Structure 1
């Protein structure tokens, strides 16, 4: 294809399209709006022809910019709406967590069972922790380091660090879920760390301190990790067993969109967990008060998911993107 001849033939159309795009939409007449749509479609066709027959870089770049600008004018974004944010927290997020409930529960039970087993092993044999820590490190951990950790930085800085770290761990679980193994590795590493520290504390008769500090924030914090890991494993399972009516690509795409909803929704929940860990866990409040605050935050999240997510499920709500934004699927025989 002669690129110069093609540009000379269709240049007036592109120029006219630029002219219409340069004018405010409210000042375009009905006929000019129709012309704008027609020229946009023709420019998109021209771009396809150039890319397939003679991919001239300069012409391709120019037409790409023109088509993208025209598309934005023809199908403008509705802009920010608070109703969308409200629906996200009243429907989309709790619904997706509720739908993945069995995966999250299974992940949580497995993690707790493994951590408990490791704690019992470490606490039951004094030689086991010495394979990972020196006696000096064990003594420091039991006498001061475990408790001092929560006061190792100003509360606001510590809370921000905890929030970002937990968000990072959750993001890893969600993003790598399609591969499955990274999620299991993250869970294993955290279970081993918890088992080792917990075993050392329990084995040295500091069970009350260990549980008294950990449970305050850990109930909500670990639940968020279980949700992220459960949804991540659900994404991985979607390509292993996509079901009889979907291809693997369709199954992973749908599960991935669900994972994105959960990832965004966990951000404020992890923020609450970080605030509790930074300001409540190391506070001078009586242990029963601190545990009550942690339990209330945890039960509030579980109740929110069960009630709001369950209602959305019963009403047949969907957290997926609108149909025009999904991949096109044609029936085949």
Structure 2
């Protein structure tokens, strides 16, 4: 069953130099119970896409086209009060920087408890700001919201959750702060968790622990997860399906195993070639030349063309549409190869890919 459906989403930022097309005609779906990865270099529009989904694009940015549907209902048609109920309730987001995302003046437990009070009927006031309540009333440690905070810290494997709930964010390590953010995001049993760079700035051991926990928590809380990252290792480790984003557009999408075993878009191939692998040691990595373009009035139809080793003049003039590019499926009866179709769930937007008769 489709949980989230994004169709033709366009998010723009007007500037003095022109319009920044941060998200340009993006389609993406997430099914119930799956983990989807959105991968690409910094500046590709991944975070703006996530902010567009949950309706927190900062001014002067705005969504100018497309639709975002959750359980079949358009989120773009809802009032801000309705979106506040959805954010933190049905959809939760873990942001890139947990230190700046957590309130330094409140204990970690109280911040999780406040999220519970905002979205669940636990008979505790949400009229006063949490900081005021802490200073005037103290923390209600016998309340249901506080008990839920303890449970969530335990769920994300924070040691001694009862005592650590009374600590402030600066008393947590980077990995523990990330776990606390995940605990807060899952406290209201959301249907969708969006994790934006969940392992950035963590050492590799803690990264592996966070990824293992995300996978376990998905099953424990029956949630779907969208992981946004530039780290292909993260995607390969936990994702069921992957979309590759470049300069505001999706350029390739496929099941994770298919994408890494058979990357087809030149950009995806470049990302994988520039990533170190333990099972394939090389003397030198092969970086992609150039940088992601500024997303202001890009003059060429294929945004990757100036960096692409296979680009032809037509690539600068014709906008590439998605084409099936996956491995050819073997016939069940072992018969002739003629007429076989490639995987319909592996597509790339490239004029140099797809059926031979359609390629440049």
TM-score over 0.5 (shorter chain): no
Larger C-alpha radius of gyration, 1 or 2?
1
Tell me: higher relative CO, structure 1 or 2? Use CA pairs within 8 A at least 6 residues apart.
1
Output the TM-score relative to the length of structure 2.
0.18
TM superposition score normalised by structure 1: 0.19
Higher strand share: 2
